[in-house]
Amino acid sequence: MKNLTIPKDYVSALNLHDTQIAIKTVKDFFQNQISHHLNLSRVSAPLFVDPLSGLNDNLNGIERPVSFDIKEQNGRTAEVVQSLAKWKRYALKKYGFTIGEGIYTDMNAIRRDEDTDNIHSIFVDQWDWEKIIRREERNLETLKGIVNNVYKCLKNTEKYMAIQYDYIEEILPDEIFYITTEELAEIFPDNTPKEREYYIAKAKGAVCIMKIGDTLENGKPHDGRAPDYDDWSLNADIVVYYPVLDIALELSSMGIRVDKAALLSQLEKAGCQERAKLPYQQAVINEELPFTIGGGIGQSRICMFFLRKAHIGEVQSSLWPEDVVKECTENGIQLL
């Protein structure tokens, strides 16, 4: 079956009714944790933006955003957000937040070009967050401090869920392991980036993979990153080993946002210098926006992880290929 893994002897510990209750339990607890430990206030966020604003996330640059025309506005085009990476930084200034304060929000997106599997869906739901830092805090020490706090929230949530549900055991290690993409390539030179992530995650349990997006010494990037939000030298993914599927599972991506120098450098490396003329990018170049750090945390991903589910469709409602639905039904995987 294409893009579908069926774990041997898999049986969900929760039926559909109890799964829905457990999803809310995970989300409520984790939201409170992340809000407290990162000093974040919940705000409302857009589902769609004007493509001419430069606010939409271009992701890897190949995904097609979902767009539609607005009848009332003479056919003006709007794009469903692919993430809120840029919007959040703008919002922090507009809403009057100050250094050390931040925001978080529900981000829902449609990734129509996504290759779906056990952990990927065309529907994306995550908590997008952003907080203001000082210029001098744009360094790896700040990044690691935030990663430690996010990881603490993950650990606390797992501990809480293990108390609520007898079948859940704590598997996250006490500490998260830090490594850069270049160091990872040196350790596993003959493997693909995804294979490297799997081997290091299985060995360490939880890893923070830093410096994603730039070209490595082997001539290839570890993974794609849009050039105009994360500083490629100051970003990171939190990846954990997930024994249910025997995979490396990314739970969160974050980074210190670009300043003028990083933005112009990365736009040139990505071959899209024309984006520098867009309103958002101009605001960065003219230093009209605060210096920030931010990221996204997959809501369905953490629900899947903490509830020990085999498929992301067990914790979110989406559309799946008919053959996948059939195979899941035959093997006790209950898609919502």
Cα 112 → chain centroid = 17
Task: Check: CB of residue 258 under 8 Å from CB of residue 268.
Answer: no
Residue 5 resides in a domain: no
> How large is the C-alpha radius of gyration of the chain?
20
237 is catalytic: yes
Q: Specify the amino acid at residue 218.
A: N
How many domains, the chain? 1
Model confidence at 1: pLDDT above 60? no
What is the tens place of the pLDDT at every residue in 6-61?
Answer: 898 888 999 999 999 999 999 999 999 999 999 999 999 888 888 887 777 666 55
Residue 323 resides in a domain: yes
Mean pLDDT of 223-237: 89
Catalytic annotation, pick one of 237, 281, 300, 318: 237
Residue 2 resides in a domain: no
Domain, as residue range, for 110? 16-330
Residue 11 resides in a domain: no
The predicted structure's pLDDT at residue 110: 87
50 is catalytic: no
Tell me how far apart the 2 most distant CA atoms of the chain are, in Å: 58
117 is catalytic: no
89 is catalytic: no
Q: Which residues of 171-198 are buried (b: 16+ CB within 10 A; e: fewer)?
A: ebeeebebbbbeebbeebeeeebeebbb
Residue 132 resides in a domain: yes
Predicted TM-score of the model (pTM) = 0.89
253 is catalytic: yes
252 is catalytic: no
Mean pLDDT of 243-252: 95
CB proximity list for 221: less than 8 A, separation 6 or greater? 181, 212, 213, 214, 215
Q: Considering Cα of 238, then 241, then 244, then 247, what sign does the dihedral take? A: positive
Catalytic annotation, pick one of 57, 197, 228, 314: 57
Alpha-carbon span 192 to 180, nearest angstrom: 15
158, two tokens? 């797992």
Alpha helices in the chain (DSSP H): 16-38, 85-94, 140-164, 181-187, 193-204, 260-270, 279-285, 299-307, 322-330
Catalytic annotation, pick one of 89, 111, 138, 257: 111
Q: CA angle at residue 38 from 33 to 43, to 5 degrees? A: 85
What is the tens place of the pLDDT at every residue in 57-107?
Answer: 666 556 788 888 888 888 888 888 877 878 898 899 999 999 999 999 998
SS (H, E, C) 141-200: HHHHHHHHHHHHHHHHHHHHHHHHCCCCCCCCCCCCEEEEHHHHHHHCCCCCHHHHHHHH
> Residue 243's domain is classified under what CATH number?
3.30.930.10
Catalytic annotation, pick one of 35, 82, 83, 126: 126
Q: Considering Cα of 191, then 201, then 244, then 336, what sign does the dihedral take? A: negative
Residue 153 resides in a domain: yes
Catalytic annotation, pick one of 183, 223, 250, 327: 250
